[in-house]
Amino acid sequence: MNSNDLPTITVSEFLAHAPPQLELRVIAGAEGTRVRKLTVPRIQKLGLALAGFTHYIHPGRLQIVGQSELRYLGQLDSIQRREAIRNLSLEKISCVLVTKGLEPPAELIEEADAANLPLLSTSVVSSTAVSTVTDCLQELLAPLEVRHGVLLDIYGLGIFIEGASGIGKSECALDLIARGHRLVADDVVEIKRIGAEKLTGAAPELLREHLEIRGLGIMNIRDLFGVSAISTTKTIDLSIKLERWDEASEVDRLGIDPQAIEILGVEVPQLVIPVSPGRNLSTLVETAVRVQLMRIRGYNAARDFVARHEKMLEEK
């Protein structure tokens, strides 16, 4: 999926990846789980719609039916209940989740079966269901972009290293792993935007835990360095771009003005490091991460140096 696609999953895919603590089960409309789709991670409650305000229903969302909705339906007679349910425009709803293990009215089960509308049940209360389902759908429906590079966990920060093929990204990663840092992904990095400003990266399942070094081939990092040398996913905090020395035209010599790269609409701080024979890339990357950590804490050595220089000139 590229960044321009609208993320979509079927209800059956949601059921397959839903957290076990929800204890989800399908009580009606099972045929619809393969065709009804979820496109929005936000949850909606059907209370207003059942009361007649059906224009509040947003397609693509999971709809919650809790104790208050069932109490309202319980006050109606069978004919009124069926009419209220049919007025929901069931063909527009992705699926309905009944919380707290409550028993839905027979009319809702019958209409859901007739419309092939997935009617789900969970044992947890509505508040817990809303937060848990939202977190799950945010992950499943997160915009995805695939990038060529290496993702590492260095000093607790997620570092995305990119650059031209053959520039030494994987060799640098191997040296950093040998120094005690952790590999997340090599060569192909799947980047997801979680919420408005958070990016996470991971390796495709086939490539997970593996690193390719020209001349050595494909290696399993877990087997070579142990389980502590790998991580399955990591928030992306810094991008480091490796460029050949004779091609690196936009290098910030002082480091005063921070650079950034945009990924899936989120700005990520970026440093450009020129590469030439004899330069110790792993040491440079480690130092770059330390510099970024200090900047996060509010200290910028370059700006401090310039300020001291200006003060000295003023005194003279």
When pLDDT is cut at 50, 70 and 90, the band that residue 56 belongs to is: confident
- Which residue among the candidates 61, 169, 182, 241 is catalytic per the annotation? 169
Q: Look at residues 118, 140, 162 and tell me which one is the last residue of a structural domain.
A: 140
In which domain, by residue range, is 262 found? Answer: 144-304
pLDDT > 70? residue 250: no
Of 117, 129, 102, nearest to 44 by C-alpha is 129
Distance CA 56, CA 40 (A): 15
Q: Count the domains in the chain.
A: 2
Q: Look at residues 94, 109, 140 and tell me which one is the last residue of a structural domain.
A: 140
pLDDT at 256: 64
Same domain, 225 and 291: yes
In the three-class reduction of DSSP (H, G, I as helix; E, B as strand; rest coil), residue 217 is classed as strand
Mean pLDDT of the chain: 89
Residue 253 appears among annotated catalytic residues: yes
Q: Look at residues 98, 117, 140 and tell me which one is the last residue of a structural domain.
A: 140
pLDDT at 241: 93
pLDDT at 235: 96
Distance CA 37, CA 20 (A): 21
Residue 148 appears among annotated catalytic residues: yes
Residue 311 appears among annotated catalytic residues: no
* Other Cβ atoms within 10 Å of 175 Cβ, number: 17
Distance CA 68, CA 188 (A): 48
Q: What is the pLDDT of residues 288-316, one digit of tens each?
A: 999 999 888 887 766 776 677 677 777 76
Q: What is the pLDDT of residues 262-273, one digit of tens each?
A: 999 999 999 988
CB-based contact 177:258 (threshold 8 Å): no
Same domain, 21 and 117: yes
End-to-end Cα, the chain, rounded Å: 60
The arithmetic mean of pLDDT across residues 247-270, rounded, is 78
Same domain, 45 and 153: no
Same domain, 183 and 298: yes
Least confident of 31-40, 97-106, 223-232, 299-308: 299-308
pLDDT at 3: 41
Same domain, 148 and 286: yes
Same domain, 124 and 223: no
Same domain, 43 and 23: yes
Q: Which residues contact 197 (CB under 8 A, 6 or more apart)?
A: 266
Q: Which residues contact 297 (CB under 8 A, 6 or more apart)?
A: none
Residue 309 appears among annotated catalytic residues: no
pLDDT at 1: 42
pLDDT at 296: 86
